[in-house]
Structure 1
Amino acid sequence: MSGLPSEVIRLNDADAGELLTLQRAAYVSEAQAHHDLTLPPLSETLDQLRAALADPACHPWGTRESGRLVAGVRVRLVEESTAEIGRLTVAPDRQGRGLGTTLLLTAEDRLPAGISSVRLFTGEHSHSNLRLYRRLGYQETGRTQAGSYQLVHLEKTRLRTDAVRR
């Protein structure tokens, strides 16, 4: 097996339990880096996740390897021309192999044609996340305080808004 996903798939309610488990496993290192075990991805309930997945503005994507969900992301359409990326997660044993990059780029590529701006945020101590986002063209737009650390807000202008693939 090459280690890279063969396909990025749309997630739905049937994936909620597995997605929540993946999310919790993936965010432990973020919680440790920021000394904050109350991160929303760790405290989100199954009902809250199901409600997010049921929201028509939410476009959840994931990748599977041998049937196992190994990466996930939620894209939320927040304005006519803006989308927000959230909960980009990769299973701890699969990190560092390009899954997050592939998933994020695919999710961006599948955005509706009118979306010209993509936003996301991460914690200031999430050094690998910050490197990834900057490498993919996201630029810092500001910071907000979140307890004892700051959230780094980033934005990317989409150059390609002419095609939509689903």
Structure 2
Amino acid sequence: MIKVINFQNDYSLKELFDLQRASYLVEAELINFFEIPPLKESLQDLKESGETFIGYFENSELTGAISYTIQEQVVTICRMVVHPNHFRKGIAQKLLTYVEKNHSDLPIFNVSTGKENTPAKNLYLKNGFQVTGDIEVVPGLFISHFEKRKEEMQ
């Protein structure tokens, strides 16, 4: 089941916080960079992120989540996390599809991921996102930026 995560519920916030840590630790290993901002944030930072969080639940267990913001008709996917015990079950695909369908009226979707995060890059490329560039954010760490325009979504 896919639904909005309610941050008024402390249990839901903690569950998301723990899920995010488990998922981003895997990405940190893939890209060999352990200073990923979500790994350094507190529960309060997460709660105050200003992002909309959608969760994927299996038997009431949060197994994946996606977050995004909307500014000036652009959806920016901020986070995509799946618990390592639930990799390769299509959860990220379902979450991405959910956000795209629920905001199909908006013309542009953006997302970024570590250049060495092949699973994430393949997900976005498979879904019609195009690489718009790679940026070195700290010495030796590159982030790949992707964009999908409405005309490409149809």
TM-score w.r.t. structure 1 length? 0.85
Name the count of aligned residue pairs.
Answer: 149
Against the structure 1 CA distance between its residues 135 and 112, is the aligned structure 2 distance closer, same or farther, given a 3 Å change threshold?
Answer: closer
Distance 1:112 1:138 in 2: 14
Distance 2:150 2:87 in 1: 26
- Counterparts of 1:60-71 in structure 2 under 5 Å? 60-71=53-64
Gaps of 5+ in 1: 1-6, 162-166
User: Which residue number corresponds to residue 39 of structure 2?
Assistant: 42
Q: Does 1:130 align with 2:127?
A: no
Distance 1:34 1:112 in 2: 31
**SS across alignment from 1:125:** coil
Q: Does 1:111 align with 2:111?
A: no
Distance 2:48 2:23 in 1: 21
For residues 42-76 of structure 1, what are the alpha-carbon distances to aligned partners after superposition, in whole Å with 9 as ceiling and x for unaligned? 11110011112xx3xx3210111111100001010
Against the structure 1 CA distance between its residues 10 and 159, is the aligned structure 2 distance closer, same or farther, given a 3 Å change threshold?
Answer: farther
For residues 89-148 of structure 1, what are the alpha-carbon distances to aligned partners after superposition, in whole Å with 9 as ceiling and x for unaligned? 0010101110000011101111262x1000000001100111110000000111111221
Gaps of 5+ in 2: none
- Counterparts of 1:43-122 in structure 2 under 5 Å? 43-52=40-49, 55=50, 58-79=51-72, 81-111=73-103, 113=105, 115-122=106-113
Q: Does 1:8 align with 2:2?
A: yes
TM-score w.r.t. structure 2 length? 0.91
CA positional deviation for 1:16: 1.3
For residues 12-44 of structure 1, what are the alpha-carbon distances to aligned partners after superposition, in whole Å with 9 as ceiling and x for unaligned? 212211111000000111111222111012111
Give % identity.
26
Q: Give the root-mean-square deviation of aligned CA atoms.
A: 1.6
Displaced runs of 4+ in structure 1, greater than 4 A? none
